[in-house]
Structure formats: C-alpha cells, structure tokens
Amino acid sequence: MSFPDVDDTQFTMEQASQNKLILDELRYDRALLAKQHKKFLSQIYTNQNHVYDKIIAAITSNSGGVFFLYGYGGTGKIFVWKTLSAALRSKGEIVLTVASSGIALLLLPGGRIAHFRFAIPLTPDECATCNIKQGNPLARLISIRKLIIWDETPIMNRFCFEALDRTIRDLLRHTNDASLHLPFGGKTVVLGGNFRQIPPIITKGSR
C-alpha cells in the first residue's frame, strides 16, 4: 500500500498507518482503477473532457479552486465523478465523494452522506462550523485529500457549505497561513447538481 504525498502537511506515513479513515480511502485496487480510468477517457465527451481537464489541472498545479458542474439528469455528471475519482485513486491519492441524499450517494464510488462525512451540524447557521477538532482522524483525512466531490448540492442549505469552508480554512491554516483567506483553504472542491429539481419556494404559500 502506498501513501499520498503529504509534503503540504505535518502528517507522517506512520500516523497515516494508524488512521482508519485514511486506510479506508487507500484500500482501492489501483491497477483496476487505472484500467477503468483509461476506459472512461476513451468514452468521455468533449464537454465532459473540458471539465475533467480543468479540474485535473487545478489539482496538479496545486492551485485549488471551487467548481460547480451543472446539468440535468442523464447529462453525465456521475460519469465525470467516476473518471476523476479513478484518475486520482489509481495514483494513491485520496478523493472524498459525498452527496446530499442517500439515493444520490449510491451512484458515487465510495460515496458518503455529506453531513456524516464532514460532521456538519443538522441545523447550521451563519456562524456554524463542522464538529472536527484539529488533529483528530477526520481532520487529518481532510487535510491530505486531493479532491472533494459533492453531488446534489442545490438541495442543501448554504450554511452547510459555509460551515465546511470555515472548518477547512481553520484546519489548514496551521500549515499554510494563506489557507485562511482562500475558499476551502485553497484546495480543490467540485460541487454538482441540477437546479431544475428544486421547486420555487413561496414564503407562507399554500399547497
């Protein structure tokens, strides 16, 4: 088993071997994922390839960024998630794939519910943060991950994203002061979803 590049953190391989959350994210069959990645690239459409290249470039250059992939059902968002995940996991990198609903996460490779994965409060407000303490296993996992993919984001309250953003900035500022002033600490985050599935809400309106 190989370990991801951790030059930008104070995390050692010995610590990684003692972190079950990290070990779980490194148990993928890299050879199989490499074959899948090659197959996915041979099937990818031009628009999907443009999205893929943009995100991979941001990760490779370590410039980070927040991306949003919008598309209605059947346009291939899940295919892009799978291609990105296979590309990075086949190299021993950590990708955290989450969704806002239980049904959506079933289609994601290694998917988790966002609230569970990031310990987001059930009723967040404008000052909320995730229940992640500096130095605990989850904090270390988030610190060394290369990419976060979050599907079905339009159905979530914006305070959930702000809580995660605030938390990641705080976790990473101990290794990079600039992280405190960058979205999600300067790491790469990809959001996706379909706004057409969200009906308009009329305050105090009837059925």
Distance CA 59, CA 85 (A): 12
What's the pLDDT band for 13 if we cut at 50, 70, 90? low
Please say if the pLDDT value at position 15 is more than 60: no
Of the pLDDT bands very low, low, confident and very high (cuts 50, 70, 90), residue 4 is very low
Predicted TM-score of the model (pTM) = 0.86
pLDDT of 200 above 80: no
- The mean per-residue pLDDT over the stretch 50-75 comes to 91
Residue 137 lies in a domain: yes
With 0-12 CB in 10 A as exposed, 13-18 as middle and 19+ as buried, what is 157? middle
Say if residues 17 and 4 touch (Cβ distance below 8 Å).
no
Strand, helix or coil for residue 97: strand
Asked, for residue 199, whether it belongs to a domain, the answer is no
Counting residues of the chain whose pLDDT is more than 90, the rounded percentage is 67
The pLDDT of residue 57 is above 50: yes
Q: Is residue 79 part of a domain?
A: yes
Does residue 11 register a pLDDT over 50?
no
What average pLDDT does range 91-116 have in this prediction? 90
Strand order in the sheet with 147-151: 65-70, 188-193, 147-151, 95-99, 112-113
Q: Region 62-71: what's the mean pLDDT?
A: 92
65 assigned to some structural domain: yes
Return the number of other C-beta atoms located less than 10 Å from residue 103's C-beta.
Answer: 9
Please give the DSSP secondary-structure letter assigned to residue 195. Answer: G
Does the pLDDT at position 194 exceed 90? no
Identify whether 27 is part of a domain: yes
C-alpha 44/C-alpha 76 separation (Å) is: 9
- Among 4-13, 78-87, 159-168, 176-185, where is mean pLDDT lowest? 4-13
Average pLDDT value for the chain: 87
Is 102 a member of any domain? yes
Of residues 144 and 16, more confidence is placed in: 144
Most confidently predicted of 96-105, 154-163, 191-200: 154-163
90 is in which domain, residue-wise?
A: 13-194
CATH value at residue 98: 3.40.50
Average pLDDT over residues 106-133: 93
Q: How many domains does the chain have?
A: 1
- In one-letter notation, the amino acid at residue 153 is T
Residue 206 lies in a domain: no
106 within a domain of the structure (yes/no): yes
pLDDT at 96 over 90: yes
Helix/strand/coil percent split, the chain, to 5: 50, 10, 40
Sorting pLDDT into bands at 50, 70 and 90, what band is 16?
Answer: low
Give percent above pLDDT 70 in the chain.
90
